[in-house]
Amino acid sequence: MAPSKYVQRLKSIAAAWPTDPFRPNLQLKTFFESLATHPHLTPNAVQSAKVLLENGIQHRLRQYPLSKKTLEPASMPKHYQRLGQGYERSVQGIRRPWWQVVFGIWR
């Protein structure tokens, strides 16, 4: 594949990359666009970006599943569940009241 093909493919990956609502000033899409102009762009860099875009990590998680003991540690069994819920709520702009944060109350 010619170097111009790598540039085109990485630019298309950058265009398809979703924006990060938590860091509007720091986007991975911008990094990929600048990487496309790098003089030593390699096929491995383009392939890695493609795997990230296609969520290839999920394939590995299905191939090597995490145990229940890892996902629900004895010291705080709902930690990862609450972390995911907090992320989803903050994307929607929903915040806990200050008193729930102070007293450690989770919804």
How is the chain split into domains, by residue range?
A: 3-63, 68-103
Q: pTM of the entire structure?
A: 0.66
Look at residue 22 in the predicted model and tell me its pLDDT.
84
Mean pLDDT across the stretch 58-69? 84
Residue 60 confidence (pLDDT) above 90: no
The CA distance from 30 to 83, in Å, is 27
User: Is the CA virtual torsion 12, 17, 19, 23 positive or negative?
Assistant: negative
The CA distance from 88 to 95, in Å, is 11
Look at residue 49 in the predicted model and tell me its pLDDT.
93
Look at residue 64 in the predicted model and tell me its pLDDT.
86
Look at residue 1 in the predicted model and tell me its pLDDT.
53
Name which residue leads in pLDDT, 24 or 60: 24
Location of structure tokens 């398809």: 16
